[in-house]
Amino acid sequence: MPRRRSSSSTGSATPASTPRNRTPQPVRIRRRTFGDFVKAFFAFVALAVLVVGVPGALAMTVGWPLPSGMPKVEWLQQPITTGTFLHILTVIVWLAWAQFTACVLVEIKAAVSGVGVPGRVPGAGPSQILARQLVAALLLVGATAASLTPGLSQIGQHSLDGNQRGTVAAAQQTPGLFAQQQEQAASTAAALAEQASQAASHADAQGGSTAKSDDTKYYRIQPPEGRHHDSLWEIAERHLGDGRRYKEIFELNKDRVQPDGSKLSEASLIRPGWIMEMPGDARGGDLVEMPAEAGGSAAQQQVHDYGQTGDHAQGGGHAQGGGQQGGASQVSLPEQRPAPDQQPSHQQQHATAATEESSFGLPTALIGAPLLAAGLLGALGRRRRQALWQSAFGAVGGRRGMEPPTPTGDAADAQDALLVGADPEGVRLLDRSLRGLAASLGAESRPLPTAYAAWLGGNGDLHLQLAQPSGNPPAPWQLGQDQTFWMLARSDAERYEDVDAAAPYPGLVSLGTMDDSRLLLNLESVPGIVSLSGPEADRAAVFASVAAELATNGWSDRMTITLVGFGEDLTPLAPNRLRHIDGIDDLVETMEAETRQRRGALGAAGHDSVLTGRTGPAQHTRWAPHLVLLAAEPSADDAMKLAELAADASRLGIGYLVGTDSGDLPGAAWEMEITGEGKLLAPLLGLELDAQLLPVPLQRAVVELFVESDPEREPQGPATAPPFLVDISEQGRPAVYARLVGPYEIIGLDTPDGERSALLHEALALLLLHREGVHPRVLSSALWPRGVTDDVREALLDRLRAWLGTDPDGTPRLKTDSTGRLTLAKSVVSDLDVLRSLYHEATQGRGVDSRAVRGRLLTDALVLVRGPLLADRPEGRYRWLTHEIIDAQLPLLVADIGLALSEFHLVKDRAEKAIEALNAALNSAPGDERLWHELLRATHATGDTARLQALAADLISRSGARGLPPRTEALLDELLPTWRDGVAAVG
């Protein structure tokens, strides 16, 4: 949030030594209404009846119930009569009266003396609440309701059991998403803003004589500890050295609006969570200072920070779903630690990028969803690799599918947005952190706690919000702001290693952001149905985003996602996870059967919930979640059936997200609403997020990327040619030649001076690997994953253009095409371009009709292979290669060249030449089974059995404990029937 700097009326800064004036504020007294007097009258009558009338009636009708002397032994032997029961009942009534009277006295003393929160009368929870209500109503005619503690607005919202927070309205240390009314949050913000502005401009008129510095300090009234309560006298004694100076604190804060909407009107009546401005000479570790030179912006931020942790945030509304015993069925925004440096976090970078991208025409919905984008990009890469491998093992030479189709139009924009928005490192850390937690709990024989949500903070920290306190977390996790938060700092998460543990919370899914924190709701832990209302198109965008992230996220092992009423076209994203059901009747029937099956399975396994099973012996897929996304509003009968099924769903690992037009869905535990402005709200729960959406046009573009890459899809048209074919004749010599296959070298350009040389080389490599063009934002996101400003990006592009120069005709070698993407001129060529062109010409061009040409082209191609791609790239750079499939394409291309050249030589019985070609290819593609098979055949063709046995032994040693692949064993059985004897002899 940008901070506002306040200034004087003249616009000049006030010198540090100049006392600041405080403008006297008019005292605004709340006028008593007729209703206040009516309430006070009835409260007085009720108190009189309960405190005076009850004992009087008992004395007149029953009398004193206790015996007048010591009972004798004969009394115990007397028969029990109706009179005995009446005496016992009378004693109970007398005790109840005594307890209630004690509650009344305690509440009156607290209200009059200003001790803060009243003391607790043992075992008098309901009685003390009633006494507090009556006393508060009675004192309305003498003091404002805000002067009572905890106040009328909070009656019934705090548990009196040990002054602990309530089960549902748990008192979080920060504003609760499901714990506050939006109206209260708005009034709090207004109060804080008003108080901050007053603090910046107000001078200390009465207390100026005692101030010893110009610093403005703040103190938050602390909640009670046991029977100790904060008071202005004690605050003045601790921080000013003299309790009599409490009047200075009172004068500084009189009639200021506090976070809970009330005001300080009497020095003896203060409330926990209120923010007190202190005199400048106040000292103490629990004060927050505002240096004079910081101005009003610092005061506003510090007061805002106090408001974010104040007890005023403790009182909010109740979640509609039943919580677990001892916990809270709500989600709260965690406290954020300061970022360790000034670099923007990945999440902040993408939030900034989302606002910048409108001028570039890329979909902001994907740019602002780093976890969703990372999941989709990873799944798309796996899909393309699978298609590539299936194509490679299906034929040799001239096959279809060597080059994945180049997306165009909306699909190209969607792919660029995925590249810009994806945060694979964040996904990796989240996955490792959660699995590491599960492994640590399992090692301690502790069950997984129920987690309602996870928050990814702007500083990279992970906050896990639990349904109820679960003790101290295993290291390096720490307790967060209270017992229901477990926190893991990003620096600790980065030290996690991969562990063999089941994904503990696979149902976590992003809903949106609040401030700079991202909320992931654990759908399978919600105690009932989550309903979503709002415009149909916006609801569909939320459902699609949830479905797409669940289907492709990197922090789950396996799950079933059932889509009803939408998403039939989304299934290509993850056919193994997503399934579509047409009607609600089929859904109910399916879920009834699965609910019964899961209950039986848990009972047979001896688990009370799926979480218990996930930390037991390795059962990574047995307790996978089943999440139901129902976009169509069910009928009342169907809604009741779903509500019955959902009542026990969280224990079974089943979650329900159901759409509704009216916003009133029977059986809904948590109700949410999506607005046309992209806000995800829960008005009764205080939730307001910038929603994560996947609109219909963007859905289609993303699905098109997956459909085009489907390995089962029948090829359309001829084989895909390389994206860029070069002139391989002498006349086609390039002006700039980059060698990428092996160590990185550039011929035709001077090496740039200074530290920017590595950055320019990396930018050129990215452009060379994407001859179809690179979006400027994709380029900057690849080079600066943590984000970069526009001027730095443009400066790099200017240097890159100057470095590459122009062709003889004056055409720049770095250009921008009609779509705004950066492209290289044809005079800038890489050895990978030449390699692809040689193989294409040998198998689909001139080499098809000329054996001699084919042999020469294949030989020239294999000579170019000097090692893996960018073999000497520096540590920490070129991380964007993880998004590419070139690491799979290049070994397959080299293998294809080696196989084709081997076949060329074996036709003429040149086995040694074939073996030479295959060994050269194996240097770059050592894991390609086809090369080894062809090498076995070529070696067998030499007739040297000992050489074949040595090769078989080498293959066996390379296979290790996994053993040889079945097809390799079958080939050895054919070529060398005695190979198993050799294995047995070695064993």
- 145-159, 415-429, 558-572, 681-695 — which one is most confidently predicted on average? 415-429
Determine the Cα–Cα distance for residues 419 and 414; give it in Å rounded to an integer: 9
State the pLDDT at residue 69.
61
Q: Which is higher by pLDDT, 410 or 35?
A: 410
Residue 113 — pLDDT band, cuts 50, 70, 90? low
Output the pTM of the full model.
Answer: 0.66
Tens of pLDDT, residue by residue over 901-942, are 999 999 999 999 999 999 999 988 888 889 999 999 999 999
Tens of pLDDT, residue by residue over 323-365, are 333 344 556 677 766 555 444 455 555 544 444 444 356 889 9
pLDDT above 70: residue 176? no
Q: Please compute the mean of the pLDDT values over residues 769-774 and round it to a whole number.
A: 93
Residue 558 — pLDDT band, cuts 50, 70, 90? confident
State the pLDDT at residue 242.
82
Grouping H, G, I as helix, E, B as strand and the rest as coil, residue 344 is coil
H, E, C per residue of 23-61: CCCCCCCCCCCHHHHHHHHHHHHHHHHHHHHHHHHHHHH
State the pLDDT at residue 827.
94
Q: Please compute the mean of the pLDDT values over residues 750-773 and round it to a whole number.
A: 90
Grouping H, G, I as helix, E, B as strand and the rest as coil, residue 448 is coil
- Residues 761 and 736: beta-carbon distance below 8 Å: no
Residue 298 — pLDDT band, cuts 50, 70, 90? very low
pLDDT above 70: residue 27? no
State the pLDDT at residue 71.
59
Residue 524's closest CA among 600, 448, 588? 448
Residue 171's closest CA among 306, 276, 328, 303? 328
Residue 523 — pLDDT band, cuts 50, 70, 90? very high
Tens of pLDDT, residue by residue over 122-151, are 766 777 778 777 877 776 555 433 333 333
Determine the Cα–Cα distance for residues 420 and 780; give it in Å rounded to an integer: 8
Structure tokens at 758: 């590595």
Determine the Cα–Cα distance for residues 122 and 212; give it in Å rounded to an integer: 46
Q: Please compute the mean of the pLDDT values over residues 847-856 and round it to a whole number.
A: 92
- 241-245, 282-286, 560-564, 843-847 — which one is most confidently predicted on average? 560-564
Residue 452's closest CA among 262, 178, 238? 178
Tens of pLDDT, residue by residue over 390-425, are 777 764 444 444 667 788 889 999 999 999 999 999
Residue 435 — pLDDT band, cuts 50, 70, 90? very high
List CB contacts of 482: < 8 A, sequence separation 6 or more. 172, 173
State the pLDDT at residue 269.
66
Q: Please compute the mean of the pLDDT values over residues 473-482 and round it to a whole number.
A: 92
- Average per-residue pLDDT in the chain? 77
Q: What proportion of the chain, given as a percentage, has pLDDT over 70?
A: 72
State the pLDDT at residue 861.
93
pLDDT above 90: residue 764? yes
Q: Parallel, antiparallel, or unpaired: how do β-strands 668-674 and 529-533 relate?
A: parallel
Tens of pLDDT, residue by residue over 789-840, are 889 999 999 999 999 999 999 999 999 998 899 999 999 999 999 999 999 9
State the pLDDT at residue 939.
94
Place of tokens 């009216």: 662
State the pLDDT at residue 47.
80
Helix 584-605 and helix 636-646: axis angle, to 10°?
10
pLDDT above 70: residue 22? no
State the pLDDT at residue 4.
36
Residue 107 vs residues 113, 124, 130, 144, 228: alpha-carbon distances, Å = 10, 12, 10, 15, 15
Q: Please compute the mean of the pLDDT values over residues 653-666 and round it to a whole number.
A: 87
State the pLDDT at residue 82.
72
State the pLDDT at residue 5.
37
Residue 77 — pLDDT band, cuts 50, 70, 90? low
State the pLDDT at residue 211.
38
Q: Which is higher by pLDDT, 175 or 430?
A: 430
Residue 631 vs residues 522, 531, 547, 637, 670: alpha-carbon distances, Å = 18, 10, 11, 17, 16
Q: Which is higher by pLDDT, 167 or 952?
A: 952
State the pLDDT at residue 663.
72
Q: Please compute the mean of the pLDDT values over residues 687-697 and round it to a whole number.
A: 92
Tens of pLDDT, residue by residue over 249-295, are 888 888 888 876 667 776 656 777 788 888 888 887 667 654 333 33
Q: Which is higher by pLDDT, 333 or 445?
A: 445
Amino acid at 115: V
State the pLDDT at residue 333.
72
Residue 693 — pLDDT band, cuts 50, 70, 90? very high
Determine the Cα–Cα distance for residues 646 and 668; give it in Å rounded to an integer: 9
DSSP 188-250: HHHHHHHHHHHHHH-B-SSSTTT--SS-EEEEEPPPPBTTB---HHHHHHHHTS-GGGHHHHH
Grouping H, G, I as helix, E, B as strand and the rest as coil, residue 288 is strand
Ranges 99-103, 720-724, 794-798: which has the least confidence: 720-724
